[in-house]
Amino acid sequence: MTQPPHDPNQQPSGEPFQPPQYPGGVPQGNPYQGGQYPGAGIPGTPYPAGQPGPPPPGFGGPAPLTTRPGSVLAAGIILCAIGAVLAVIQVISLIVGSSSGVYSGVSHGLVVVAGLIGLLLSLFAVAAGAWLFTSRSNATRITATVAAALLILTCWGIVATIAVPILLYATETAKRWFATAPEAGAGYPPAPGQY
């Protein structure tokens, strides 16, 4: 004789399973008291309808930035512009200073070395500014700040030395831009068909 398959919802007497009844309807210490089920109120969920539960993680906060903020663009433009102008000035001073005896009281080698250092700092500032246009990493922000700080050695780059750190660290949009990027798909509901 074959026995019918065991149905877990039936009690041994053959009647359907009835959940235990508690005084007050809900057992003490239940984390989902008051209808606060994670999927409450969503059609098709196994949870009873009631008050909606808390939103999934990632909802309700500021949306992640997808376009480069104006403060980051401004910092990159300042570094590129001031660095390019200083590079041109350094090249002109190297050419004019070495061909004419303008620096008669100073060693010619010292003038050339100072001009080359200024030229390298200017090119470093241009590269750091261009990197701000293409990268979102925190290393980019630190490199741009170092380049702006080094421009004070040229005496012409004080604007970049003051403006770039303010634009990259004091504005809220720049802070959010350089914050760690969220995991792929974090904070968003799953795509249809991926439940």
Does a structural domain hold residue 29? Answer: no
Does a structural domain hold residue 116? Answer: yes
pLDDT at 60 over 70: no
CA 125 vs CA 7, 138, 161: distances in Å: 74, 17, 11
pLDDT at 57 over 70: no
Nearest to 137 by CA among 179, 75, 81: 179
Stronger pLDDT, 155 or 55, i.e. the higher one? 155
Compute the average pLDDT of residues 115-144: 92
Number of domains in the chain: 1
pLDDT at 38 over 60: no
Q: Cα(193)–Cα(179) distance, rounded to whole angstroms? A: 31
Range of the domain at 146: 70-178
Give SS3 for 149.
helix
116 Cβ contact partners less than 8 Å away, ≥ 6 residues apart: 90, 94
pLDDT at 34 over 60: no
Please state the pTM of the whole predicted model: 0.57
pLDDT tens digit string along 172-185?
888 888 886 544 44
Q: Cα(50)–Cα(41) distance, rounded to whole angstroms? A: 6
Compute the average pLDDT of residues 26-55: 53
Does a structural domain hold residue 23? Answer: no
pLDDT tens digit string along 86-99?
999 989 888 877 66
Q: Cα(24)–Cα(43) distance, rounded to whole angstroms? A: 27
Burial of 77 (0-12, 13-18, 19+ CB in 10 A): middle
Mean pLDDT of all residues in the chain?
Answer: 74
Does a structural domain hold residue 112? Answer: yes
Gyration radius from the chain CA atoms? 33
Q: What is the pLDDT of residue 147?
A: 93
Q: Cα(136)–Cα(174) distance, rounded to whole angstroms? A: 10
Q: Which residues pair with 16 in a beta bridge?
A: 10
Does a structural domain hold residue 49? Answer: no
Q: What is the pLDDT of residue 183?
A: 46
Q: Within 10 Å of residue 178's Cβ, how many Cβ atoms?
A: 21
Does a structural domain hold residue 27? Answer: no
Does a structural domain hold residue 62? Answer: no
pLDDT at 1 over 90: no
Does a structural domain hold residue 188? Answer: no
Torsion angle of the four alpha carbons 160, 163, 168, 172, in this order, in degrees rounded to the nearest 10: -170
